[in-house]
C-alpha cells in the first residue's frame, strides 16, 4: 500500500469507528432517557389544524391537544377545525364533541371613504396603529375605521380584505374567531359575535347628531326609531348610539332596521353580509369624499 | 473628564445637531392675546389619573377657581382660566385623537379677568408632606411637554435620598423659545421655584443647565443667585436632545440613570425651568395653573412670538390672533418639530403640557419622500442618545415581533426623541414603529 492509500484507509476507519461509537451512545440514551408520552397527543395534533392561532384559549394546538386529553376542554373549542375532524377527535377520546356556537369577527363601522369625511391628511406609516397615535388619524369621525388595513395584515386566515372604500370586509367562511383583528384595531371596532346575532349596529360614533352627520353619511345619530320599533328592552340609546341587548336576542327581527334613516342598524343576512332597511338613504357615490372644510367657528 | 468636557463643551454622547430656527421668536417678549370666547378644559390633560369635574352646566365660575378636583394622589385639579359660565361638561376632541370629557367655559365678555380665587400660604412654615400637597393643589404639571404632575416628581419614595436638583433650561427642540424667554424675563420666579423645590426634596445643591445658545438667559439667572447659595448655572452644549432629563443628568453630573429607573435612583430630581417659574409664582399665592407660555412660530405664522395663553384656548383662536397662512391641520404641530405631533383639527385646545404651536406650510419644492428599505448605514446607531439599536428595532417592528423588541433590545428605554428618524436616509418612520410597539406591549400587559 502506498502511504496515501493507507492514510485514507486510516481516516475512514477512524470515522466509521467514531460513528459506530456515537450511534451506540445515542441508542443507549434513547433507551435510558426515554420519556413516556401519551401517543394520543400526537394523534390528536394530527387532527387539529396546527394553525396555533390561540382561538381556543390555549397557546397553540399542542397545549390544546394536551388539555383535551386531560379533559379540561372539549373538541368544539377549536373553531378553526371542520366539525367532521372535531367529531373524529371526540370519537378518539370517547368524549362528546361539545357545542359551541360559531363566532365571527364583526366590524362596528360602515364609514368607507365614499361616505365618511376626512379632516386632515395623514402621511405617515401606512398603519392604523401609527395613524391613531398621531392625533387619532385624519378621519373626521374619531370613533371610526381608519382604513389602513392593520386588521387585513393581522389576519392569518386571509378572512379580512379592505374593499374599494378602505373598509375591512370579513369573509365569514374563513373567519375562525381567533381575535387577532380585535386586538390590533386601535379604535376597538372589531368584536367576536355569535352568528345568531343578526341585528347589528354598524357604527360606533358617540357624537351628538349634528356633529356625527357632518362627519359620516351612515352614522347612527341616536334618533331612537329602532328603539321604538323593536320589542321593548331590546335596543337602547347610550351616548347617542343604539346598543343592542343580546341577552334578549330571541326577540330580534328585521323590523327594527326598517325606519333607520342612515342604515346604521343592519340585519346580517345568511351570506354574512349586512342588509340595510328600506328607509336608509341610498348611497350612490363611488369616489372618496373630499377633505372637509374646517368646521365653522362656534 | 473635567478637562475633556472643557475642551468639547459639556454634553452627552451621540444625539443630533439640527438647525434651530429660534431666531424667529427668541427676541420676542412674552405677550398676551385676547381671551378666546370659549375654552375647553379636558379632564385628562395630564399624565396619571383624570380629574373629576366639580361644576355643573350653567354654573358661573371666577378666574382661578377649581373646576375639577384631583382624583387620587396621581392626579391634579384643574382651575378656571377665565371668569365665565360653564357651558357643559361633555366629550370633546383632544389633540391626542380620542374624545375625552372636558369642562367647556364661555368667557364672560367685559370682565376684567383678574384672578379672583387664591389660598395663599407661607411655604417656609410647611413640612415636606404639606408642601407636596400644596403643590398638588396648584394643579401644576411639567411644562416641558410630558405634563407629568409636579407634586409626583417632588415626592421622593422612602429609602431614596436626593442630593441635587437639576433645572432643565436647555430647550433643545428647534423653534421653541418659551423657557428661554421665561428665564430671561422672570429669573427671580425661576429661582423662587428652585428654592421651593430644593426645600421640598431636601436637595443640597442645584445645577441649572442652560444650552450655550442662550447666554442672555444664563446671565439673567446668575444675577439672581445669592453669594452663598448652593445654586450653579452651567452652560451646556446646544445639541438635541440635551433637554431630555436623562441626557442632562449625564451631561451635568456624569451619572447614568439605570434602565427602567427614574432620576431619584441616582439622587437627582429634574424640573423644567418654566415649571419652576410657575411653582415660584403659584405656590406662595395659592393659585392654580391657569395659563402658560406658548411659542407660536413657523414659516406659516404672520406674527411669531411667545404668548401667555389661558389653558383651554382652542388653537384656532390663537392662530387667528397671530395671523396664519395654512389651514390644513396636518401642517400644524403641537410641541416641537422633533417630538410634537400634528393635529387633526384646529378646535382642539392648548393643554397644560403644550409648549409650542408651529405652522409649517408645505413648500412648493417639498417632496414627501416615501420610506425605502434599510441600507444598514448605521447612522441611527450613531444618533440614538440612549445607545439603542434603532435599525434592529425597526426590523423587528416591521415583523411585528414587539415582545422581542422589549425583552432583547430595551425598547422601553426609548423616549421617542426622534433622532433616528431624523437621520435615517431611507426615511424609515422608526419612532412611529416604536410608538406602536410600546402601545401594543402596554395593552398586552394590562
Residues in B closer than 8 angstroms to A136, CB to CB, are: 96-98, 344
What is the overall mean pLDDT for chain B?
91
**Taking Cα atoms as reference points, which of B268, B262, B296 lies closest to residue B209?**
B268
DSSP state of B373: -
Report the alpha-carbon distance of residue B174 to residue A60 in Å, rounded.
50
Nearest residue in B to A133, CA atom: B96
Residues in A closer than 8 angstroms to B370, CB to CB, are: none
**Taking Cα atoms as reference points, which of B102, B41, B413 lies closest to residue B256?**
B413
- H helices of B156-214, where? 178-185, 187-201
Residues in A closer than 8 angstroms to B316, CB to CB, are: 294, 297
pLDDT digits (tens, 9 = 90+) for B114-151: 888 889 888 888 888 999 999 999 999 999 888 999 99
pLDDT digits (tens, 9 = 90+) for B226-270: 888 999 999 999 999 999 999 999 999 989 999 889 999 999 999
Residues flagged as binding site of B for [4Fe-4S] cluster: 374, 377, 380, 384, 414, 417, 420, 424
Residue B154 has pLDDT above 90, yes or no: yes
pLDDT digits (tens, 9 = 90+) for A199-235: 999 999 998 888 888 889 999 999 999 999 999 889 9
B338-367 residues touching A, CB cutoff 8 A: 341-348
Quickly state the pLDDT bin for B49 (edges 50, 70, 90).
very high
Share of chain B above pLDDT 90, in %: 70
In DSSP terms, which residues pair with B233 in a beta bridge? B208
pLDDT digits (tens, 9 = 90+) for A237-261: 999 999 999 999 888 889 999 999 9
Helical packing angle, B215-222 and B178-185, nearest 10°: 40
Cβ(B251)–Cβ(B209) below 8 Å: yes
**Which CA distances in Å does B55 have to B80, B90, B94?**
10, 12, 20
Helical packing angle, B430-445 and B402-409, nearest 10°: 100
Report the alpha-carbon distance of residue B122 to residue A159 in Å, rounded.
66
DSSP state of B274: H
B99-118 residues touching A, CB cutoff 8 A: 99
Is B432–A130 a contact, with Cβ atoms under 8 angstroms apart? yes
Give the angle B403-B408-B410 at the CA atoms, nearest 5°.
90
Which among A123, A130, A294 has the least Cβ separation from residue B436?
A: A130
| CA A245 to chain centroid | 22
Residues in A closer than 8 angstroms to B341, CB to CB, are: 133-135
- B429 interface with A at CB cutoff 8 Å: yes
What is the overall mean pLDDT for chain A?
88
Domains of chain A (ranges; CATH) run 40-93 (1.10.15.40), 103-275 (3.30.70.20)
Please compute the mean of the pLDDT values over residues A33-53 and round it to a whole number: 87
Cell of A268: 346580517
Report the alpha-carbon distance of residue B330 to residue A137 in Å, rounded.
10
Phi, psi dihedral angles at B250 (to 5 degrees): -60, -45
Say whether pTM exceeds 0.90: no
Quickly state the pLDDT bin for A135 (edges 50, 70, 90).
confident
Residue B345 has pLDDT above 50, yes or no: yes
pLDDT digits (tens, 9 = 90+) for B68-107: 999 989 999 999 999 999 999 988 988 888 889 999 999 9
Is B344–A136 a contact, with Cβ atoms under 8 angstroms apart? yes
Please compute the mean of the pLDDT values over residues B309-325 and round it to a whole number: 93
Residues flagged as binding site of A: 53, 56, 61, 78, 141, 145, 151, 155, 175, 178, 181, 185
Cβ(A101)–Cβ(A200) below 8 Å: no
DSSP state of B356: E
Residues flagged as binding site of A for [4Fe-4S] cluster: 53, 56, 61, 78, 141, 145, 151, 155, 175, 178, 181, 185
Helical packing angle, A61-69 and A83-93, nearest 10°: 40
Quickly state the pLDDT bin for A121 (edges 50, 70, 90).
confident
User: Which pLDDT value is given to residue A294?
Assistant: 52
Cell of B270: 429634574
Which among B99, B330, B436 has the least Cβ separation from residue A122?
A: B330
Q: Residue B113 contacts by C-beta under 8 Å, 6 or more apart in sequence?
A: B35, B63, B82, B83, B107
Quickly state the pLDDT bin for B365 (edges 50, 70, 90).
low
Phi, psi dihedral angles at A64 (to 5 degrees): -65, -40
User: Which pLDDT value is given to residue B7?
Assistant: 54
Which among A125, A127, A138 has the least Cβ separation from residue B330?
A: A138
Report the alpha-carbon distance of residue B86 to residue B38 in Å, rounded.
10
Q: How far is A134 from chain B (nearest CA, A)?
A: 6
Is A133–B429 a contact, with Cβ atoms under 8 angstroms apart? no
Q: How far is B227 from chain A (nearest CA, A)?
A: 48
Please compute the mean of the pLDDT values over residues A25-49 and round it to a whole number: 89
Is A120–B345 a contact, with Cβ atoms under 8 angstroms apart? yes
User: Which pLDDT value is given to residue A295?
Assistant: 45
User: Which pLDDT value is given to residue B364?
Assistant: 67
Q: What ipTM was estimated for this complex?
A: 0.79
Q: How far is B188 from chain A (nearest CA, A)?
A: 37
The length of chain A in residues reads 298
Cell of B9: 463643551
Which among A137, A183, A239 has the least Cβ separation from residue B344?
A: A137
| Nearest 10 degrees: Cα torsion B433, B436, B438, B442 | -170
Q: Residue A20 contacts by C-beta under 8 Å, 6 or more apart in sequence?
A: none
The length of chain B in residues reads 446
Cell of B61: 365660575
* Chain A residues with at least one Cβ partner in B under 8 Å: 119-125, 127, 129-130, 132-139, 142, 183-184, 186, 206-207, 239, 294-295, 297-298
Residues in A closer than 8 angstroms to B443, CB to CB, are: 183
CB atoms inside a 10 Å sphere around CB B11: 18
Which among A135, A183, A184 has the least Cβ separation from residue B344?
A: A135
CB atoms inside a 10 Å sphere around CB A35: 4
Cell of B388: 439603542
Kindly report whether the peptide bond that precedes residue B241 is cis, defined as omega within 30 degrees of 0. yes
Give the angle B135-B141-B143 at the CA atoms, nearest 5°.
130
Residues in A closer than 8 angstroms to B342, CB to CB, are: 120, 134-135
Nearest residue in B to A154, CA atom: B400
Amino acid at each position: 500500500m502506498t502511504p496515501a492509500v493507507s492514510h485514507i484507509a486510516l481516516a475512514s476507519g477512524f470515522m466509521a469507528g467514531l460513528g459506530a461509537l456515537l450511534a451506540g451512545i445515542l441508542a443507549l440514551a434513547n433507551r435510558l432517557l426515554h420519556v413516556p408520552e401519551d401517543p394520543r397527543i400526537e394523534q390528536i395534533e394530527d387532527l387539529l389544524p396546527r394553525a396555533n392561532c390561540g382561538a381556543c384559549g390555549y397557546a397553540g394546538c399542542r397545549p390544546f391537544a394536551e388539555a383535551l386529553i386531560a379533559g379540561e376542554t372539549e373538541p368544539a373549542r377549536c373553531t378553526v377545525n371542520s366539525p367532521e375532524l372535531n367529531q373524529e377527535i371526540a370519537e378518539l377520546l370517547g368524549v362528546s364533541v361539545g357545542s359551541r356556537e360559531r363566532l365571527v369577527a364583526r366590524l362596528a363601522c360602515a364609514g368607507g371613504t365614499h361616505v365618511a369625511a376626512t379632516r386632515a391628511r395623514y402621511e405617515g406609516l401606512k398603519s392604523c396603529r401609527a395613524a391613531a397615535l398621531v392625533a387619532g388619524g385624519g378621519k373626521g369621525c374619531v370613533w371610526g375605521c381608519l382604513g389602513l388595513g392593520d386588521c387585513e395584515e393581522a389576519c392569518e386566515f386571509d378572512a379580512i380584505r379592505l374593499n374599494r372604500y378602505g373598509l375591512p370586509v370579513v369573509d365569514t367562511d374563513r373567519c375562525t374567531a381567533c381575535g387577532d383583528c380585535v386586538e390590533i384595531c386601535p379604535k376597538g371596532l372589531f368584536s367576536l359575535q355569535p352568528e345568531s346575532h343578526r341585528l347589528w349596529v354598524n357604527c360606533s360614533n358617540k357624537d351628538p347628531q349634528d356633529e356625527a352627520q357632518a362627519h359620516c353619511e351612515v352614522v347612527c345619530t341616536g334618533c331612537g326609531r329602532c328603539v321604538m320599533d323593536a320589542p321593548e328592552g331590546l335596543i337602547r340609546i347610550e351616548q347617542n348610539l343604539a346598543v343592542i341587548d343580546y341577552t334578549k336576542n330571541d326577540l330580534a327581527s328585521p323590523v327594527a332596521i326598517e325606519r333607520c334613516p342612515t342604515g346604521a342598524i343592519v340585519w346580517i343576512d345568511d351570506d354574512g353580509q349586512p342588509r340595510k332597511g328600506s328607509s336608509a338613504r341610498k348611497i350612490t357615490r363611488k369616489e372618496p369624499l373630499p377633505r372637509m372644510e374646517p368646521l365653522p367657528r362656534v | 473628564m473635567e478637562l475633556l468636557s472643557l475642551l468639547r463643551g459639556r454634553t452627552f454622547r451621540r444625539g443630533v445637531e439640527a438647525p434651530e430656527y429660534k431666531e424667529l421668536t427668541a427676541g420676542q417678549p412674552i405677550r398676551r392675546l385676547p381671551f378666546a370666547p370659549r375654552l375647553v378644559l379636558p379632564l385628562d390633560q395630564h399624565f396619571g389619573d383624570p380629574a373629576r369635574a366639580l361644576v355643573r352646566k350653567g354654573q358661573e365660575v371666577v378666574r382661578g377657581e377649581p373646576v375639577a378636583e384631583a382624583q387620587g394622589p396621581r392626579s391634579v385639579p384643574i382651575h378656571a382660566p377665565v371668569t365665565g359660565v360653564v357651558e357643559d361638561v361633555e366629550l370633546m376632541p383632544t389633540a391626542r385623537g380620542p374624545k375625552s370629557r372636558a369642562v367647556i367655559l364661555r368667557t364672560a365678555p367685559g370682565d376684567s379677568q383678574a384672578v379672583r380665587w387664591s389660598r395663599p400660604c407661607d411655604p417656609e412654615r410647611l413640612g415636606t408632606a404639606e408642601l407636596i400637597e400644596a403643590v398638588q393643589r396648584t394643579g401644576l404639571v411639567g411644562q416641558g411637554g410630558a405634563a407629568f404632575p409636579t407634586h409626583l416628581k417632588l415626592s421622593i419614595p422612602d429609602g431614596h435620598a436626593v442630593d441635587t436638583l437639576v433645572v432643565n433650561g436647555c430647550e433643545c427642540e428647534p423653534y421653541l423659545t418659551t423657557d428661554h424667554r421665561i428665564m430671561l424675563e422672570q429669573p427671580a420666579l425661576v429661582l423662587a421655584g428652585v428654592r421651593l423645590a430644593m426645600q421640598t426634596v431636601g436637595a443640597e445643591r442645584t445645577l441649572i443647565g442652560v444650552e450655550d445658545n442662550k447666554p442672555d438667559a444664563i446671565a439673567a439667572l446668575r444675577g439672581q443667585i445669592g453669594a452663598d447659595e448652593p445654586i450653579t448655572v452651567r452652560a451646556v452644549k446646544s445639541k438635541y436632545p440635551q433637554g431630555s432629563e436623562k441626557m442632562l443628568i449625564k451631561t451635568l453630573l456624569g451619572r447614568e440613570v439605570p434602565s427602567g429607573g427614574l432620576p431619584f435612583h441616582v439622587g437627582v430630581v429634574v424640573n423644567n425651568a418654566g415649571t419652576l417659574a410657575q411653582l415660584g409664582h403659584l405656590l406662595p399665592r395659592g393659585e392654580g395653573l391657569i395659563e402658560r407660555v406658548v411659542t407660536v412660530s413657523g414659516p406659516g405664522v404672520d406674527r411669531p412670538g411667545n404668548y401667555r395663553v389661558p389653558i383651554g384656548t382652542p388653537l384656532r383662536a390663537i392662530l387667528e390672533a397671530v395671523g396664519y397662512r395654512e389651514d390644513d391641520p396636518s401642517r400644524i404641530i403641537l410641541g416641537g418639530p422633533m417630538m410634537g405631533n400634528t393635529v387633526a383639527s384646529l378646535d382642539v385646545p392648548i393643554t397644560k403640557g403644550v409648549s409650542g404651536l408651529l405652522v409649517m406650510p408645505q413648500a412648493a419644492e417639498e417632496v414627501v419622500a416615501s420610506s425605502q428599505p434599510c441600507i444598514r448605514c448605521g447612522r441611527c446607531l450613531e444618533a440614538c442618545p440612549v445607545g439603542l439599536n434603532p435599525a434592529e428595532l425597526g426590523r423587528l417592528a416591521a415583523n411585528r415581533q414587539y415582545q422581542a423588541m422589549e425583552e432583547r433590545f430595551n425598547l422601553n428605554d426609548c423616549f421617542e426623541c426622534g433622532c433616528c428618524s431624523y437621520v435615517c436616509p431611507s426615511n424609515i418612520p422608526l419612532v412611529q414603529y416604536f410608538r406602536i410597539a410600546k402601545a401594543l406591549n402596554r395593552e398586552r400587559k394590562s
